[in-house]
Amino acid sequence: MVGKVPIARRPKDEQVLWWRVLGILMIVLASFTVYQNIQFNEESRHITECQVEFVERFAEALNTRTEANEQGRVALDELIRKIVETPDGEATRQALRDYIEVRNASEEARRANPYPEVTISEECLP
């Protein structure tokens, strides 16, 4: 048969059906993957927002407590300096009273600013 081009075989109806099923399955899987990714990103954002609140409270308490400790350290340095420089007994006792007053204020500041408890609020639960 010279000059005749063979006609391409037409796929059987069964093969066409399987290709369609496979195509639909791929579309469903792709859709599910996109949906799952969107949900995961939303949950991650929500968790991050909840952590920000705790970290801010923790940083505030830490800064206040650090400042209180610094005041105590400065008061101790001042006490030692006064004791060394002042031979008078009454001045030494006054320096000790001043130090104790600053340390008590420092301790009160630490007690008034405890580290926040790690809690999970209802809105932060999944």
Inside any domain, residue 58: yes
Report yes or no on 24 lying in a domain: no
Residue 40 lies in a domain: yes
The answer to whether position 38 is within a domain reads yes
* Residue at token pair 């007994």: 89
Do residues 83 and 95 touch, judged by C-beta distance below 8 A? Answer: yes
35 lies in a domain? yes
Whether 8 is in a domain gets the answer no
- The count of structural domains within the chain is 1
16 falls within a domain: no
Compute the residue count for the chain: 126
Range of the domain at 109: 31-124
> Of all residues in the chain, what percent carry a pLDDT higher than 90?
16
**Which one of 35-49, 63-77, 98-112 scores highest in mean pLDDT?**
35-49
Arithmetic mean of pLDDT, 99-125: 79
Residue 119 lies in a domain: yes
Taking the whole predicted model, whether its pTM rises above 0.75 is answered as: no
